[in-house]
Structure 1
Amino acid sequence: MTETITYAWRGDFANAELATLHAQGFGHPPGDEDWRARVVRHSLGWVCARDESGELVGFVNVAWDGGGHAFLLDTVVSPGHRRSGIATRLVALAADGARAAGCEWLHVDFEDHLRGFYVDACGFRPTAAGLIAL
Structure 2
Amino acid sequence: MTITYEWRGGFDNVDVNALHAEGFNHPTADIDWLTQVRRHSLGWVCARDDGDLVGFVNVAWDGGVHAFVLDTMVAGGRRRSGIGAGLVAEATRRARAAGCEWLHVDFDDDLRSFYFDACGFEPTPAGLIAL
TM-score (normalizing by structure 2): 0.98
**2:104 is the alignment partner of 1:102:** no
Hey, what does 1:120 align to over in structure 2?
117
Among candidates 35, 45, 51, match of residue 37 of structure 1:
35
**C-alpha distance in structure 1 between counterparts of 2:47 and 2:118, whole Å:** 18
Hey, what does 2:130 align to over in structure 1?
133
- Moved runs in structure 1, 4+ residues, more than 2 A? none
More divergent stretch after superposition (111-120 vs 69-78):
111-120
**C-alpha distance in structure 2 between counterparts of 1:56 and 1:24, whole Å:** 13
**C-alpha distance in structure 1 between counterparts of 2:18 and 2:66, whole Å:** 29
Hey, what does 1:75 align to over in structure 2?
72
Among candidates 90, 94, 104, match of residue 93 of structure 1:
90
DSSP-derived class of the 1:58 partner = strand
Query: Aligned residue pairs: how many?
Result: 131
Unpaired segments ≥5 residues, structure 2 = none
**C-alpha distance in structure 2 between counterparts of 1:30 and 1:13, whole Å:** 16
Give the CA deviation at 1:4: 0.7
**C-alpha distance in structure 1 between counterparts of 2:53 and 2:74, whole Å:** 9
| Letter paired with 1:5 | I
Unpaired segments ≥5 residues, structure 1 = none
TM-score (normalizing by structure 1): 0.96
Q: How does 1:20-35 map to 2 (within 5 A)?
A: 20-35=18-33
DSSP-derived class of the 1:84 partner = coil
| Letter paired with 2:15 | E
